[in-house]
Amino acid sequence: MTEIDDLQHAGVFRPAGEPSLRWGVLGTGWIAEQFVAGTLRHTPQRIVAVGSRSAERSAAFAAQHGIERSHGSYSALIEDPGVEALYVGVTAEAHKGLALEAIAAGKPVLVEKPFALTAAEAAEVRDAARSAGVLAMEAMWTRYLPQSDAIRLLCEQGALGDIELVSADHGQAIAHDPASRLLRPDLGGGALLDLGVYPLALASELLGTPVSVVAAGNVLESGVDGTVAMLLSYDGSTARALLSTSISTRTPTEAVIAGTAARIELEGPFFVPTGFILAGPAFGEEPILRWRDQSGIAMHEGLSYQATALARFAGEGRTESPLHGLDESVAILSTIEAVRAQLTPYAT
Ligand SMILES: NC(=O)c1ccc[n+]([C@@H]2O[C@H](COP(=O)([O-])OP(=O)(O)OC[C@H]3O[C@@H](n4cnc5c(N)ncnc54)[C@H](OP(=O)(O)O)[C@@H]3O)[C@@H](O)[C@H]2O)c1
């Protein structure tokens, strides 16, 4: 088996060497916590302010993370003149409005997934960002992880041949708390928006926007989708994506990119820093190579790479991520809408 070290360092988003921006973080929930902890620990990015709907929660969060300033509203944070870049880490129904506010303030903005609740909302943010010339980026953090660079390199080198099938799943057993935001349609709950975006984003990166989507799944009593299987087809191609997502059950959270010459098998969870093998078509043979993330940046600390990416893109004067543009964020939400239209209400 080949161990390759050069690809270990293929990650283009290195923490050092990019502009060190002064960030403001919107929200004090679970993901805001993970983003702040990972970014402060692994990058020279500075987090100088936090904003919450509650001044108390904001102050407590700031004290916990050594953040200089706290604000009792999101708008006050966005307007803070000492803040250069914003991270929107709140529930999804607020993403569009806060992204628009950030853009109006002329500040680069990293918006948690899902980028918005609908494709129309996402298109509104995209159009505002483009007309203002402000960098707006979906926080699809997996795209900026070292393994994703290594896989892009292998694909560019033709190691897989033609990609014929992408299969990926993201299921977690997280819908059992009736108070969970995941069960609330008004907060952007449901498997597709919260977890399904990961397999959909992987397929989108590798195969583009599907022309046809066949889906089966259920809608839970609260009105959010529960468990969904999807088959995506592409224009002028025999390639397919076979994806699934669930908030009712834990699935392996693995991904396979199968080409005519070889395949990549990503270890689960495929959306965090992980490892993969590149394997040839024959049964029983050793993999051609085995790659493992050796950065020491584990699990959700990997959120820090997207902060580095935004800092780099802002420094380069870009208004969109070259790896995940806003048209793609809109297209993924369109696919989710096409999937959702095929689900069965209240099926058990
Ligand atoms: N990238 C990832 O791996 C990952 C993982 C988990 C979640 N996420 C995404 O991050 C976002 C937030 O998820 P989370 O897990 O952090 O949720 P959470 O722990 O429930 O926190 C949500 C935060 O949103 C703010 N918020 C604003 N309006 C709200 C409302 N009407 N109800 C409840 N909270 C509201 C709250 O901040 P204040 O109370 O301080 O105002 C709250 O702290 C979602 O878009 C989710 O999909 C991403």
Output the residue whose Cα is nearest ligand 1's atom 7.
Answer: 31
Whether residue 152 is found in the same domain as residue 195: yes
> Is the domain of 50 the same as that of 115?
yes
The pLDDT of 168-175, averaged and rounded, is: 93
Are 122 and 173 members of one domain? no
Ligand 1 atom closest to Cα of 90? Answer: 24
- From 142, 171, 189, the end of a domain falls on 142
Average pLDDT for 172-197: 92
Structure pTM? 0.96
- With 70 as the cut, is the pLDDT of residue 337 above it? yes
Span from the CA of 110 to the centroid of ligand 1 (angstroms): 14
Whether residues 230 and 256 fall in one domain:
yes
**Quick check: is 303 in a domain?**
no
pLDDT, residue 248, reads: 94
Is 38 in the same domain as 112? Answer: yes
Q: Are residues 330 and 190 in the same domain?
A: yes
Give the number of other CB atoms < 10 A from CB of residue 110.
28
Same domain (yes/no): 223, 111: no
**Contact, 26 vs 86, CB < 8 A?**
yes
Does a structural domain hold residue 74? yes
pLDDT exceeds 90 at position 112: yes
* CATH code of 278's domain: 3.30.360.10
Tell me the average pLDDT across 193-221: 97
Q: In the listed set 142, 165, 199, which residue is the last one of a domain according to the structure? A: 142
Single residue among 122, 142, 162 that ends a domain in this structure: 142
26 CA to centre of ligand 1 in angstroms: 9
Which two three-digit tokens encode residue 123? 């298109």
Do residues 288 and 194 both lie within one domain?
A: yes
Q: How many domains does the chain have?
A: 2
User: Are residues 183 and 119 both part of a single domain?
Assistant: no
CA–centroid distance, 14 to ligand 1, in Å, is 27
Residue whose CA is at the smallest distance from ligand 1 atom 28: 91
Residue 284: domain span: 145-295+323-340
Distances 297 to 20, 106, 246, 323 between C-alpha atoms, Å: 19, 31, 27, 21
pLDDT tens digits, one per residue of 266-312: 999 999 999 999 999 999 999 999 999 999 999 999 999 999 999 99
- Closest residue by CA, ligand 1 atom 44: 91
- Residue 17 has a pLDDT of 83
Mean pLDDT of the chain: 95
- pLDDT bucket at 175, cuts 50 / 70 / 90: confident
Overall average pLDDT of the 192-218 stretch: 98
pLDDT value at residue 189: 96
Is the same domain home to 133 and 275?
Answer: no
Would you say residue 117 lies in a domain? Answer: yes
Mean pLDDT of 207-234: 97
- What mean pLDDT comes out for the span 237-244? 98
Task: Grade residue 5 by pLDDT with cuts at 50, 70 and 90.
Answer: low
Ligand 1: residue whose CA is nearest its atom 37: 27
Q: How far is the CA of 36 from the centre of ligand 1 (A)?
A: 14
Around ligand 1, the residues with Cβ closer than 6 Å are 27-31, 52-54, 57, 89-92, 94, 112-113, 141, 181, 187, 194, 300
Residue 42 sits in a domain whose CATH number is: 3.40.50.720
Is 311 a member of any domain? Answer: no
Radius of gyration of the CA atoms of the chain, in A = 20
Contact between residue 209 and residue 261 where contact means Cβ atoms under 8 Å apart: no
- 25, 28, 31: which to mutate for ligand 1, most atoms within 8 A of CB? 31
- Compute the distance from residue 244 Cα to the ligand 1 centre, in Å: 23
Whose C-alpha lies nearest to ligand 1, atom 4? 31
pLDDT of residue 2: 45
The answer to whether residue 307 sits within a structural domain is: no
What is the pLDDT at residue 3? 44
Best probe residue, ligand 1, of 25, 28, 30 (max atoms within 8 Å of C-beta) = 30
Of 28-32, 76-80, 134-138, 174-178, minimum mean pLDDT range: 174-178
- Tell me, yes or no, whether 36 and 136 share the same domain: yes
> Quick one: average pLDDT of 220-236?
96
Distance 74 CA to ligand 1 centre (A): 13
Q: Where are the alpha helices (DSSP H) in the chain?
A: 30-42, 55-65, 74-79, 95-104, 119-132, 146-156, 191, 197-207, 304-315, 326-340
**If you average pLDDT over residues 313-342, what whole number do you get?**
97
When pLDDT is averaged across residues 117-136 and rounded to a whole number, the result is: 98
Query: For residue 1, what pLDDT band results from cuts at 50, 70 and 90?
Result: very low
Give the residue among 249, 210, 254 at the shortest CA–CA distance from 230: 210
- 238 CA distance to ligand 1 centroid (A)? 39
Cα–ligand 1 centroid distance for 221 (angstroms): 22
Helix (H, G, I), strand (E, B) or coil at 197: helix
Same domain, 50 and 181: no
